[in-house]
Structure 1
Amino acid sequence: MIVYVNEKKYNVPEKTTVLDIKHNIKKDADIVIYNSFPIKENVNLKENDKIVLIKKGEVPSKEELECALVSRHTPFVHEKLKKYTVAIAGLGGLGSNAAIFLARVGIGKLILIDYDVVEPSNLNRQQYFIKHIGMKKTEAIKDIIKNCNPYVELETRNEFIDENSINSLFKDADIVIEALDDAKYKALLVNFILQKMKDKIIIASSGMAGYFSSNTIVTEKIMNNFYLVGDKVSESKPGCGLMAPRVAIAASHQANAVLRIILENI
């Protein structure tokens, strides 16, 4: 009889019970999830039942986490995602959210670039917490990602992006997410990659301020290696600030564009 324990397939004898599984696989489990419901009593297992055994506070092994990701993505998808390196320029509202989304899906490597520190005003839309105030954003985002997926490969660069640093910062990336605030440096990065690093794909942003309709934020393919996310209209100004829901929607578009590009669906 086939059952699944922590997403792994096991062939077990008929009349095997949940407690048999716990005893043989993870005696010290504090919580037993049976077919998506926590249970305390013993249960006789049936074909294709799913059991999750959890020890509170324990970090899953790399193998366990990979099994969980594969079970959600399918093996073909997960193996592709593991092969790619994504660089994120700027770790504010867009970049911090996109970084966590990509870490959660198991992207192979993230290159995370920002020179700034976390300040209280960042908490309205960026993926940081009070404990991170005063930390470099590169260190703060690394701390968060390690609590989501400790096995994704991370490279952090606490550097300012200018014409002298672009090549060294992005040379190892397959895909670049532009998540900068300053229009001058957004244009500098996009133009540099389009003109001098044509083997890279860049996903840039334009317009996600305020609380307008979510549906006006879209992903557009501008060129073979250039995608633009946003509504191309809204900008931050009095009465139309940067707010968490809309910024996160745009960040989701950027992260999802990465997945669609890798999986050849865009």
Structure 2
Amino acid sequence: MKVYVNERSLDVKNGTTLMQLKRQIKKDSDVVVYNGFIMKKDLSLKEEDNVVFIKKGEIPKKEDMEAQLVSRHTPKVHEKVKNTSVGIAGLGGLGSNAAVSLARIGVGRLVLVDFDVVEPSNLNRQHYFIRHIGMKKTEALKEIISQCNPFVKVDVVDTFINGNNAQEIFKDVDIIVEAFDNPVCKAELINSVLTKMNGKKVIGASGMAGYFSSNSIVTKKINKNFYIVGDGENEAAPGCGLMAPRVNIAANHEANQVLRIIMENE
């Protein structure tokens, strides 16, 4: 009889029970999930049942994590995702949230670039926590990603990025996410990528401030190598600040566009 344990196929004898399987596979597990439900009592397994054994706080084995991602993405998709490297320029509201989404789907390598530290004012929209206040954003985000998916390779570059050093920093990545607040820095980076980096694709953002309709945030293809996210109008200004809902929507538009490029579904 075939069942699935931690998303991997396993042949077991007819009549095997859930708790027998637990003793065989992971007797120290604290939680048993049976076909999507937490189960504490014993029962006989059936063909095609799906069981997950969890020990609280334990980092999954790499092969188990891989199996979980494959089961959610399908093998073809996951293989492409895990062989992609993405550069994130700026680790504020856009960059920190986009990076975490990309780590969660199993992007193989992230290059995280910023020179700043986490401040209390960042917590209204950026993917940091109180314990990170005063830490370099690069190191704080690397730690967060390790708690989401410890098998993503994360390289950090603690520097101010501009048109002069972007080529060297991002020479080995496949796709670049521009996530700056400063419009001059945005323009410098995007121009450098499009004119000097041999067709590398870059995703920028413009207009995600305030509390306007989330439906106005869209992804637009500007040319074959440049995409821009946002509403194109609502930049941060008095009475129209940067806040988590719209910033996170824009960040995940950027992450989703990375995925569309990976899957050649533009």
The 5 Å alignment of 1:104-119 reads: 104-119=104-119
Percent identity of paired positions between Structure 1 and Structure 2: 61
Contact 2:210 2:242 (8 Å CA) reproduced: yes
Instruction: Determine the structure 2 residue equivalent to 1:224.
Output: 224
Residues of 1 paired with 2:252 and 2:106: CA distance? 15
> In the alignment, which residue of structure 2 is the partner of 1:177?
177
User: Is 1:252 matched up with 2:242?
Assistant: no
**Distance apart, 1:162 and its partner CA:** 1.9
Give 1:154's aligned residue: 154
Aligned to 2:137: 137
SS of the counterpart of 2:46?
Answer: coil
> How far off its partner does 1:150 sit?
0.3
Calculate the TM-score normalised by the size of structure 2.
0.99
- After TM superposition, the runs of 4+ consecutive aligned structure 1 residues lying more than 6 A away are none
CA contact (8 A) 2:218 2:231 kept: yes
Of 68-77 and 195-204, more deviation after overlay is shown by: 195-204
Counterpart of 1:239 in structure 2 is 239
Asked if the contact 2:81–2:106 (Cα under 8 Å) also holds between the matched residues in 1, the reply is yes
| Secondary structure at 2:148 match in 1 | coil
Amino acid paired to 1:221: K
Check whether the contact 1:3–1:11 (CA below 8 A) recurs between aligned residues: yes
Q: Which has the higher mean CA deviation after the structures are superposed, 19-28 or 97-106? A: 19-28
Q: Distance in 2 between matches of 1:155 and 1:221?
A: 28
The equivalent residue for 1:62 is: 62
Unaligned runs of 5+ in 1: none
1:22 maps to 2:22: yes
| Deviation of 1:163 (Å) | 2.9
The answer to whether 1:11 aligns with 2:14 is: no
Using the TM superposition, name which of 28-37 and 115-124 deviates more: 28-37
Name the SS of the counterpart of 1:147 in structure 2: helix
- Structure 2 residue aligned with 1:85: 85
The answer on 1:203 being equivalent to 2:213 is: no
CA deviations on 1:12-32 (whole Å, 9 max, x unpaired) are 111111011101100111111
- Residue-by-residue CA offset, 1:105-160 (whole Å, 9 max, x unaligned): 00010000000000000000000000000000000000100000000001000011
CA contact (8 A) 2:17 2:44 kept: yes
**Corresponding position of 1:76:** 76
Return the TM-score normalized by structure 1. Answer: 0.99
1:123: which partner in 2?
A: 123
- Maintained 8 Å contact 1:198/1:225: no
Task: State the 1:210 CA deviation.
Answer: 0.4
1:39, distance to aligned residue in structure 2 (A):
1.1
One-letter code aligned to 1:35: N
Cα distance between partner residues in 1 of 2:262 and 2:163? 28
> How far off its partner does 1:164 sit?
2.6
Aligned to 2:37: 37
Task: Tell me the distance in 1 between the aligned counterparts of 2:150 and 2:218.
Answer: 31
Looking at structure 2, the residues matched to 239 and 160 of structure 1 have their Cα atoms a distance apart, in angstroms, of: 29
Distance 2:212 2:156 in 1: 34
Distance 2:75 2:225 in 1: 27
Residue type of the alignment partner of 2:18: V
Moved more, 87-96 or 26-35: 26-35
